[in-house]
Amino acid sequence: MSRTFLSITNKSPSLEIKTSSPPILGEEKEILHFSHPQHTLLLVNFPYIFTCMGCKEYGAGNRFKCLQCDFELHEFCALAPPSLKTHSLHGQHSLIFYTKPGGYLRSSCDVCNKAMKGYAFRCSSCNFGMHPCCAELSREMNFPVHGHTLKLLPTTMSTSGDSDFVCYECKSKRSGRVYGCGSCEYYLHAVCAKSMVNGLYANGIKPPDKPSKFGRTVGVAISHVIVGLIGGLLEGIGEGVGEALFETVAMKALPTAEVHGHTLKLLSSTMSTSGDSDFVCYECKRKRSGRVYGCGSSEYYLHAVCAKNMVNGLYANGIKAPERPSKFGRAVGVVSHVIIGFIGGLLEGIGEGGKLYLKLL
């Protein structure tokens, strides 16, 4: 028997629409899902947190899991219908189940205001969209955290920036829809209510906090600085070892006749490596640290690092060794990357704010 149960219709290059639901193969709720056709998925219940491979959001408890690999889906994502003809949160149009986010800009859910990164229900007539988890919510619901029925407040009261209502669960204000109690001043963010749908609340798990745009920017900046610093130190050590090895070769096979008529001898290390040497190199016309060759018949000196150019072929081919930036210069380069990353983070935040503003218009 064929297990093909799904065809994909490309509505746009970045969208895929699911056209049928997966069949249940046995009494244990084993399914073959279009997103993981190589293995069947079994409905299991584990008390630990997981990330759904469909909607990219957290969950706990019930999930469809592949027992041969780490693929997991929310139960409501795995069994999501191809469309919703009506929904209490968007009654004016039907909603289509999409398997991939659409468009070039990541859109936000109209219920919880979090980004839709994977599976989502979207309206083909307007810009409304919501996560499969948010589709499990309704206008009026009873939650285990409050004794009264809660009603979803109008969008004008709860989605214009951070709402004026302090959520009883997270003790803060934030954007997104809000549930309110008609009998008392109890408020619950829709994003917090999702934890009572996706299994996190039932299993005593608090959703992991994601860093803010500023926090992520600072984190990236610090990591770049640390990596740059360690990289600079390792690079310096590597250069020192490399130069020592190369200078050893230069000592043995230096074609001195090409640059000076007399035989040159390597001066003792105490005379040439204590900081910048006192000898001006005839080739580079300056002082620098490192070993130095000297002439016993005249005051001709040649840095070992300059002598390397007569071994590695640069001098023979009339090529001057490129100047590398100093440690300070490389540090300035790292700092510039940090500044650019910081400005990029700010611009990203401004861009998201602009999208929210256009959405409100």
What angle separates helix 327-360 from helix 213-252, to the nearest 10 degrees? 160
- pLDDT tens for each residue of the chain, 361 residues long: 323 233 333 333 344 555 555 655 555 689 999 999 999 999 999 999 999 999 999 999 999 999 999 899 999 999 999 999 999 999 889 999 999 876 545 589 999 999 999 999 999 888 899 999 999 999 999 999 999 999 999 876 654 455 678 999 999 988 899 999 989 989 999 999 999 999 999 999 998 876 555 555 555 555 555 545 555 554 554 545 444 444 444 444 455 545 777 888 888 766 655 555 678 888 888 888 888 888 888 888 888 888 888 888 888 888 877 766 555 556 555 565 556 556 655 555 555 444 444 444 4
What is the model's pLDDT at position 129?
Answer: 93
Predicted confidence at residue 14, as pLDDT, reads 42
Query: If you search the block for the tokens 């018949």, which residue do you land on?
Result: 297
Adjacency order of strands within the sheet including 41-51: 30-31, 41-51, 58-65, 72-73
> Is 0.95 topped by the overall pTM?
no
Q: Specify the residue for token string 């810009």.
A: 127
**Contacts (Cβ under 8 Å, ≥6 apart) of 274:** none
Which three-class secondary structure state does DSSP give residue 178?
A: strand
- Res 195: pLDDT: 95
Provide the 10 A C-beta neighbour count for residue 49: 17
Q: Amino acid identity, residue 135?
A: A
